[in-house]
Amino acid sequence: MQNPPTNTILNVDDSEAQRYATSRVLRHAGFDVVEASTGKQALAMVANQPDLVILDVNLPDMSGFDVCRKIRADDLGARMPVVHLSASMVSTRARVTGLEGGADAYLVQPVEPGELLATVRTLLRVRKAEETLWQSEQQYRLFFETNPLACWILDGGTDSILAVNEAAVQMYGYERSEFMNLTTRAIIDEAGTRSLVNFASNPPLSQAAVQRHKRKDGTFLDVEVFWSPLRIAGRNARLAIVQDITEKRKRESAQREEEVRELLLERVLQAQEDERRRIARELHDEAGQLMTSLLVGLRAINDAQRLSQVKQQTKRLRKITSDTITELGRMARGLHSGLLEDLGLQEALRRLVDDFSSAHKIRVDFDFGSPGFQKHQSSGQLGIYRIVQEALTNVARHSKAKKVTINFAWKEPTLRLTIQDDGEGFEMKNLMRNPSDHLGIEGMRQRACMLGGTLEMASQLRKGTQIAVFLPLASLRAGTV
pLDDT of residue 246: 83
**What is the DSSP code string of 292-310?**
HHHHHHHHHHHH--SHHHH
- At residue 177 the predicted structure's pLDDT band, cuts being 50, 70 and 90, is confident
Decide if 1 is inside a domain. no
8 Å CB contact between 210 and 245: yes
Residue 353 placed within a domain: yes
Last residue of a domain, which of 244, 262, 291? 244
Which CATH number goes with the domain that contains 436?
Answer: 3.30.565.10
Q: Parallel, antiparallel, or unpaired: how do β-strands 363-367 and 403-411 relate? A: parallel
**Whether residues 317 and 409 fall in one domain:** no
Give the residue among 54, 70, 127 at the shortest CA–CA distance from 102.
70
Same domain for 74 and 96? Answer: yes
Examine the domain organization and report whether 397 and 280 are in the same domain: no
Query: Are 32 and 126 in a shared domain?
Result: yes
Containing 19, the helix (H) or strand (E) segment is: helix 16-28
pLDDT in tens, 274-300: 666 666 666 656 666 666 676 676 777
Q: What is the pLDDT of residue 335?
A: 57
Q: Does residue 2 form part of some domain?
A: no
Domain hosting 436: range is: 337-478
33-85 residue pLDDT tens: 999 999 999 999 988 889 899 999 989 999 999 999 999 888 777 788 899 98
Phi then psi for residue 444, to 5 deg, are: -65, -40
Name the domain boundary from 335, 361, 386.
335
27 domain residue, yes or no: yes
Contact (Cβ atoms closer than 8 angstroms) between residue 18 and residue 87: yes
Specify whether 355 is located in the same domain as 293. no
Q: Do 311 and 298 contact (CB within 8 A), yes or no?
A: no
Q: Report pTM.
A: 0.41
Residue 26 has pLDDT above 90, yes or no: yes
- Measure the CA–CA gap between 5 and 50, rounded to whole angstroms: 13
**pLDDT given at position 456:** 92
Q: How many domains does the chain have?
A: 4
Per DSSP, 160 falls in state B
Residues 349 and 437 in one domain: yes
Neighbours of 28 (CB within 10 A): 10
Shared domain for 346 and 459, answered yes or no, is: yes
Mean pLDDT of all residues belonging to the chain: 80
Rg from Cα positions in the chain? 45
The stretch 391-401 carries a mean pLDDT of 90
Contact by Cβ (8 Å): 64, 75 = no
- Residue 471 in any domain: the answer is yes
User: Closest by alpha carbon to 476, among 364, 354, 383?
Assistant: 383
Whether 61 and 124 map to the same domain: the answer is: yes
The stretch 411-436 carries a mean pLDDT of 81
pLDDT, mean of residues 11-28? 91
* Cα–Cα distance for residue pair 163/165, rounded to 1 Å: 7
Length of the chain: 481
Question: 452: left (phi > 0), else alpha (psi -120 to 50), else beta?
Answer: left
Q: Are residues 343 and 275 in the same domain?
A: no
Say yes or no to pLDDT of 201 above 80: no
In a domain, 79, yes or no: yes
Contacts of 183 (CB under 8 A, 6+ apart): 158, 159, 160, 161
Q: Are 199 and 184 in contact (CB under 8 A)?
A: yes
Same domain, 20 and 39: yes
DSSP string, 355-374: HHHHHHT-EEEEE----SS-
Higher pLDDT among residues 157 and 364, named by residue = 364
Which region holds residue 396: left if phi is over 0, alpha if psi is between -120 and 50, else beta?
alpha
Does residue 18 register a pLDDT over 50? yes
Is residue 256 in a domain? yes
Are both 408 and 311 inside the same structural domain?
no
**341 and 463 fall within a common domain:** yes
Which residues, in sequence order, are CB contacts of 353 under 8 Å at separation 6+? 364, 366, 392, 406
Laid out side by side, the sheet with 454-459 consists of 363-367, 403-411, 414-421, 465-472, 454-459
State mean pLDDT over 206-215: 77
Domain-ending residue, one of 244, 271, 290: 244
CATH number at residue 46: 3.40.50.2300
In a domain, 3, yes or no: no
Domain containing 217 — which CATH number? 3.30.450.20
pLDDT of residue 145: 78
